[in-house]
């Protein structure tokens, strides 16, 4: 009898244990389900915050849409200050300000919106330069690196022919180059900018140079520009040299603003076609390809007009910045193996936040309070053109030995 009762007690204890364990499992399952729901809610909240910052999650990773770009080499000539602006080395543009950024280098200045370095004789050498951005939690989002070369000043005579648009038409660029080189540059071209000869034409795109486009924006007018050969039906460097007699030591190619689009391929391929045509005739001729500039802020873009008519009626800063960024990266990627081609990173080294000339205008029609608004969305003031010259000069100083021997 006692044995039967003892077995009954054991069976009851076993059943109770099973029931307790089952209840615990159900309870833990509920807790885990609640935790998973809470986690998904937290992740969706993070995604909403990231979307507000211009970051879209995709299958490649949470921050896959954040693109940074630094050229393989950055040159700083002795006596020159070069600056790289955070907003202008990323597809995020001004949205970069939503992140925390830092520059890491043994020389120069890691500043809030830029990296700044002045070339001196004592600093001549090569240094790793790293740019990193972090989210609000301090987690690394993206990183880019380059080699920073501080190089000796150069004052040797050489000839230069500039093929460009209106950004090549400012006397300030050539005056600054003359100051830096001691007036040693011999300028070539059929047109003039101040006392310097060029092949710069306002409003021209690379596509115009590939066709029989005429030019009437300035004197002297042209029925067709001098690079166009009727027999070949396109840009012809051999024809240009034969008909003009110009045979420069180097070419500065500064195009891209006219023809900018969200898809950089057509504009970029037109620029590439000019590079290839020159090198078919002169494979050893150095070409310095200058990246085009980022535009003014939205006030400058939106208020730029002529006689009351909007010149950039529906454009906005973020999209225009992306056009510049993607053209720059497209050209760098596509022409990465082109011999005797040197990129000039003027786009990322021009202070687009401060280099455009401004005028004070009322904040509204009836207010005495004023704000500064850029008078031109594309063409910077003198400081911008001088920064372009500093950048071009630095790259020449760092690379001329490769082609002048």
Same domain, 171 and 320: yes
Rounded distance between C-alpha atoms, residue 310 and residue 288, angstroms: 34
> Is the pLDDT assigned to residue 46 strictly greater than 70?
no
End-to-end CA gap in the chain: 113
Q: In this predicted structure, what is the pLDDT of residue 33?
A: 61
User: What's the CATH code of the domain at 199?
Assistant: 3.40.50.1110
Q: Which of 121, 151, 181 is the last residue of a domain?
A: 151
pLDDT grade, residue 59 (50/70/90)? very low
233 lies in some domain: yes
Residues 367 and 262 in one domain: yes
Same domain, 180 and 312: yes
Same domain membership, residue 375 and residue 299 = yes
Pairing mode, strands 250-254 and 287-290: parallel
CB 163 within 8 A of CB 254: yes
Residue 239 and residue 293 in one domain:
yes
Q: Does residue 100 sit in the same domain as residue 209?
A: no
Specify whether 30 is located in the same domain as 101. no
Least confident piece of the model among 30-44, 87-101, 124-138, 296-310: 30-44
Q: Whole-angstrom Cα distance, residue 12 to residue 373? A: 86
Residue with tokens 């159900």: 26
Strand pairing partners for 76?
150
Q: What is the pLDDT of residues 159-196, one digit of tens each?
A: 999 999 999 999 999 999 999 999 999 999 999 988 89
Angle between helices 382-399 and 171-181 (to 10 degrees): 40
Do 106 and 169 sit in the same domain of this protein? no
Indicate the SS3 state at residue 74. strand
187 in Cβ contact with 160 (< 8 Å): yes
User: For residue 226, what is the DSSP state?
Assistant: T
| Separation CA 222–CA 219 (nearest Å) | 8
Q: What is the DSSP string of 339-351?
A: TTEEEE-HHHHS-
User: What pLDDT score does 65 carry?
Assistant: 72
Question: What is the model's pTM?
Answer: 0.84
How many structural domains are present in the chain?
3
DSSP bridge partners of 359: 373
**Does residue 222 share a domain with residue 147?**
no
Question: How many Å apart are CA 380 and CA 383, to the nearest integer?
Answer: 7
Q: Pseudo-torsion of CA 31, 32, 36, 38, nearest 10°? A: 20
Using the 3D structure, point to which of 100, 122, 151 is the last residue of a domain. 151
Q: Tell me: the pLDDT tens digits for 295-315?
A: 999 998 888 777 777 767 778
Asked whether residue 286 falls in the same domain as residue 397, the answer is yes
- 228 and 347 belong to one structural domain: yes
Residue ending a domain, choose from 124, 151, 178: 151
Any domain includes 58:
no
Residue 97, helix vs strand vs coil = helix
Q: Are residues 200 and 324 in the same domain?
A: yes
**Which domain does 44 fall in, by range?**
1-52
CATH classification of the domain holding 120: 2.60.40.10
pLDDT tens, position by position, 110-124: 999 999 999 999 999
Residue 172 makes CB contacts below 8 A (sequence gap 6+) with: 382, 385, 386, 389
């Amino acid at each position: 009898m006692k044995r039967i009762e003892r077995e009954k007690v054991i069976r009851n204890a076993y059943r109770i244990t099973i029931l307790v364990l089952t209840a615990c499992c159900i309870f833990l399952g509920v807790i885990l389900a609640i935790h998973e729901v809470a986690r998904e809610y937290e992740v969706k909240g993070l995604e909403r915050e990231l979307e507000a910052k211009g970051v879209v999650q995709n299958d490649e990773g949470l921050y896959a849409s954040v693109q940074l770009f630094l050229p393989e080499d950055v040159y700083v000539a002795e006596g020159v200050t070069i600056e790289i602006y955070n907003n202008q080395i990323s597809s995020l543009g001004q949205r970069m300000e939503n992140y925390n950024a830092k520059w890491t280098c043994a020389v120069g200045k890691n500043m809030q919106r830029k990296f700044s370095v002045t070339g001196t004789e004592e600093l001549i050498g090569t240094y790793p330069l790293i740019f990193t951005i972090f989210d609000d939690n301090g987690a690394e989002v993206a990183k880019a690196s380059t080699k920073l070369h501080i190089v000796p000043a150069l004052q040797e005579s050489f000839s230069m022919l500039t093929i460009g648009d209106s950004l090549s038409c400012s006397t300030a660029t050539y005056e600054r180059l003359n100051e830096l080189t001691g007036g040693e540059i011999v300028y070539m071209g059929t047109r003039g900018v101040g006392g310097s000869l060029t092949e710069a034409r306002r409003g021209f795109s690379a596509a115009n140079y590939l066709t029989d486009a005429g030019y009437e924006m300035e004197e002297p007018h042209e029925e067709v520009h001098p690079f166009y050969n009727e027999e070949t039906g396109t840009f012809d460097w051999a024809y240009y040299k034969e008909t003009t007699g110009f045979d420069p030591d180097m070419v500065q190619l500064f195009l891209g603003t006219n023809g900018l689009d969200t898809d950089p391929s057509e504009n970029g391929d037109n620029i590439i076609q000019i590079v290839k045509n020159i090198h078919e005739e002169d494979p050893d001729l150095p070409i310095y390809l200058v990246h085009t500039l980022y535009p003014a802020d939205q006030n400058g873009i939106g208020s730029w007009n002529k006689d009351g008519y909007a010149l950039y009626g529906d454009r906005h800063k973020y999209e225009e910045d992306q056009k510049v960024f993607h053209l720059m990266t497209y050209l760098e990627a596509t022409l990465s193996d082109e011999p005797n081609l040197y990129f000039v990173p003027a786009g990322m080294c021009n202070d687009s936040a401060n280099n455009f000339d401004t005028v004070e205008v009322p904040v509204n029609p009836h207010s005495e309070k004023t704000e500064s608004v850029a008078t031109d969305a594309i063409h910077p003031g003198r400081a911008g053109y001088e920064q372009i010259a500093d950048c071009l000069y630095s790259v020449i100083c760092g690379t001329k030995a490769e082609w002048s021997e």
